[in-house]
Amino acid sequence: MIQYPGFDPIAFQLGPVKVHWYGIMYLVGFVAAWWLARRRAARPGSTWKAQDVDDVIFFAMLGVILGGRIGYVLFYGLGYWAEDPLYPFKITQGGMSFHGGLIGVLVAVALFAWRRRRRVADVFDFMAPLPGLGLFAGRIGNFINGELWGRVTTVPWGFRVDGEVRHATQLYEAALEGLLLFAVLWWFTMKPRPRLAPSGLFLVMYSLARMLVEFWRVPDQQIGYFAGSWLTMGQLLSLPMLLAGIVLLGYAYTRREPSGNRAA
């Protein structure tokens, strides 16, 4: 058993402005994605330029922030919204949804692709290995905030929180949805792959990791379980991702279209 140290969620304060660790983790994620994208764009044969990277990361940032908050309200906070019309704007009361953020990024990146006359599939593939480190940082932010704990457990690596020993599911997700996802996708995209293969692999890996950890994670109190004591909103939202990822991988390796991210 490990005693949870009880971190202060506020990193520092500048007058009336409080800077939270969770916000810093978002910044770390965006900077990491930008740096990785710049590295990938600089490789010989890449059809991406530095300006393209700067613009697509900006579009993705808007998609993550707007989609993540809207998704949280729609997927997890409709009851709160019904009681308070201003709830969507109270970002300190309830957080962000990955699935909402993903939808927001897809829309924003598709808009970028349309403006730049790029194939949407190619832009999705270029972005596929970039979110892993950001997802890792975000889950560390959850751990610092002391939120999204797992079930009560007796395993020796559990954390004692408020008198109970619980699974640190934030760290499980940081390892699986973050580091492992990044490592595999970065390695996978080091070589040319068929169009939509990186996107499909991202969807499959994230959804499997999320659905697995949800068996130990306690669902949001206002939602609870959907079936017995195991089916959660996170699993329901991840299932379409898994199916879509499998379809994309099958399509990619059946058609074997070359990616437009590398010069012919």
Per-residue pLDDT of the chain (264 residues; tens, 9 = 90+): 899 998 999 999 888 888 889 889 999 999 999 999 999 999 999 999 999 999 999 999 999 988 888 877 877 776 666 666 666 666 655 577 888 888 999 999 999 999 999 999 999 999 999 999 999 999 999 999 998 899 999 999 999 998 999 999 999 999 999 999 999 999 999 999 999 999 999 999 999 999 999 999 988 777 778 777 778 888 998 999 999 999 999 999 999 999 999 987
pTM (2 d.p.): 0.90
Number of H helices, E strands in the chain: 10, 5
Q: Which residues contact 16 (CB under 8 A, 6 or more apart)?
A: none
Distance CA 2, CA 63 (A): 37
Distance CA 151, CA 227 (A): 17
Residue 205 in tokens: 């890996």
